[in-house]
């Protein structure tokens, strides 16, 4: 997710920076927290204990959450598998398809700009004999359905393309891509972690076979997520990745995280009700922040498509500015850069490099991601702070 910087500005009181890193994580909605609390103490039953009231109540709560989760993405409740988050969901989807396939020289198609939760899985499978094709996006971050078509082989078992990008917010045409995959008998998976809860997602309309997401990106708790596994027409078959029980239709062993699942369900219920109003608010504030910065800082530009993107994200490059110093100086806001920390250095984002940026441009790019708690005052102060810092650095 990049280098997360979070500093406190000290005076007589401790002031927190303005939070503009909602793509990294979101605070738990107080209504979600209220729904979760009883399941930590009073209603503490194991959902797999079917012989007494405590277990029955927990099971009912899980199934209600499953319905709310499914409703948000246009799925059937029986198609939802609860996991510990999108990373586990991605592992279950991609490895599950790979391991259940009987094809030799199994081939997977993905994109150079995917999250590490997909790229690392593909690299793992490559060491186990998989052949992986990494599609290169255009300079705006988009991949075309024709690229998917051109990459397909008789041995292709899966296409995995992120619906909404975590760094640049770009939205891929996953419905068209899924159609291309299906025309060739290939399954389609999408890591939709950044899309679910921010924009309308409908797995049936898009024809997606597998879709991953996390609660903590939509004002739910950390440590819980879901994988949609299509059951309509021909059910998708997966090899489970955890042994130790027949939980979640045999796909995910382990005692269910009832409080977390309840939180995910409530977050999904609220998101379905509020998604349009939240998107309208965030896009308006994002545009104000973006336009102010672009107008006042000569040479700055937006990374990725400004047409096909999430309503809450802008990733802005500041040429001829030292990236590390820029982030250190932006102490009044909590943002994420396009860089990833290693033990000894700060590396340029693989995403921005794939879009054609130089190392220096990638390191001097900042992702601003807004949320439903962002206010006009936050945006005004954040924009002023960015302009002040960059202009001062440019004049040194």
For the segment 67-83, the average pLDDT, to the nearest whole number, is: 98
pLDDT tens digits, 113-150? 999 999 999 999 999 999 999 999 999 999 999 999 99
- Select from 195, 114, 169 the least CA-distant residue to 303: 169
Distance (Å, whole) CA 106 – CA 263: 38
C-beta separation of 201 from 163 below 8 A: yes
What is the reported pLDDT for 342? 33
Pairing of strands 131-135, 107-111: parallel
Distance (Å, whole) CA 50 – CA 48: 6
Write out the residue limits of the CATH 3.90.1150.10 domain(s) in the chain.
Answer: 4-28+275-394
Residue 145 in tokens: 């359905």
What is the reported pLDDT for 346? 63
Least confident of 88-97, 179-188, 337-346: 337-346
For the segment 53-63, the average pLDDT, to the nearest whole number, is: 93
Q: Has residue 13 got a pLDDT over 50?
A: no
Distances (CA, A) of 357 to 133, 157, 300, 338: 22, 32, 13, 11
Distances (CA, A) of 81 to 170, 214, 239, 262, 267: 26, 12, 13, 14, 16
- At residue 203 the predicted structure's pLDDT band, cuts being 50, 70 and 90, is very high
Query: CATH class for domain 4-28+275-394?
Result: alpha beta
What is the reported pLDDT for 338? 56
For the segment 85-113, the average pLDDT, to the nearest whole number, is: 96
Distance (Å, whole) CA 81 – CA 372: 27
Mean pLDDT computed over every residue of the chain: 92
For the segment 64-73, the average pLDDT, to the nearest whole number, is: 98
Q: What percent of the chain has pLDDT over 90?
A: 85
C-beta separation of 185 from 157 below 8 A: no
For the segment 227-243, the average pLDDT, to the nearest whole number, is: 92
Distance (Å, whole) CA 349 – CA 272: 33
Residue 249 in tokens: 């239709």
C-beta separation of 346 from 363 below 8 A: yes
Task: Tell how far CA 210 is from the center of its chain.
Answer: 15
Write out the residue limits of the CATH 3.40.640.10 domain(s) in the chain.
Answer: 30-270
Residue 288 in tokens: 């104000």
- At residue 396 the predicted structure's pLDDT band, cuts being 50, 70 and 90, is low
Distance (Å, whole) CA 324 – CA 364: 7
What is the reported pLDDT for 32? 98
C-beta separation of 266 from 32 below 8 A: yes
Q: Which residue has the tokens 């599950």?
A: 96
* CATH code of the region 30-270: 3.40.640.10
Q: Has residue 11 got a pLDDT over 60?
A: no
Catalytic residues: 341
C-beta separation of 78 from 278 below 8 A: no
- At residue 170 the predicted structure's pLDDT band, cuts being 50, 70 and 90, is very high
C-beta separation of 58 from 261 below 8 A: no
């Amino acid at each position: 997710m990049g280098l997360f910087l979070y500093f406190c500005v000290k005076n007589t009181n401790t002031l927190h920076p303005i939070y503009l890193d909602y793509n990294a994580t979101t605070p738990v909605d107080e209504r979600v927290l209220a729904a979760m609390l009883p399941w930590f103490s009073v209603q503490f039953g194991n959902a797999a204990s079917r012989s007494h009231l405590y277990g029955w109540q927990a099971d009912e709560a899980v199934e209600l959450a499953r319905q709310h989760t499914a409703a948000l993405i246009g799925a059937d409740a029986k198609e939802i598998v609860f996991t510990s988050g999108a990373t586990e969901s991605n592992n279950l989807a991609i490895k599950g398809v790979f391991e259940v396939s009987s094809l030799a020289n199994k081939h997977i198609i993905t994109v150079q700009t995917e999250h590490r939760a997909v790229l690392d899985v593909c690299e793992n499978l490559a060491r186990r004999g998989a052949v992986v094709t990494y599609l290169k996006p255009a300079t705006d971050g988009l991949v075309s359905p024709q690229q998917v078509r051109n990459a397909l082989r008789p041995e292709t078992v899966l296409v995995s393309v992120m619906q909404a990008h975590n760094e640049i917010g770009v939205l891929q045409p996953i419905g068209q891509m899924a159609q291309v995959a299906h025309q060739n008998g290939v399954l389609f998976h999408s890591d939709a972690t950044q899309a679910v809860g921010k924009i309308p997602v409908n797995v049936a309309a898009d024809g997606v076979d597998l879709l991953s997401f996390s609660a903590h990106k939509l004002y739910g708790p950390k440590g819980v997520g879901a994988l949609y596994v299509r059951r309509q027409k021909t059910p998708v078959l997966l090899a489970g990745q955890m042994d130790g029980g027949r939980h979640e239709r045999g796909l995910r062993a382990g005692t269910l995280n009832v409080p977390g699942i309840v939180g995910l369900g409530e977050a999904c219920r609220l998101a379905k009700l509020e998604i349009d109003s939240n998107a309208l608010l965030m896009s308006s504030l994002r545009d104000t922040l973006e336009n102010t910065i672009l107008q006042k800082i000569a040479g700055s530009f937006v990374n990725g498509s400004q047409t096909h993107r999430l309503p809450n994200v802008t990733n802005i490059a500041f040429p001829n500015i030292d990236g590390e110093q820029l982030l250190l100086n932006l102490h009044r806001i909590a943002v994420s850069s396009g860089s990833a920390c290693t033990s000894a250095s700060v590396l340029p984002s693989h995403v921005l490099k794939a879009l054609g940026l130089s190392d220096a441009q990638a390191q001097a790019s900042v992702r601003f991601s807004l949320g439903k708690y962002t206010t006009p005052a936050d945006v005004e102060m954040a924009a002023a702070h960015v302009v002040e810092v960059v202009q001062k650095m440019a004049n040194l």
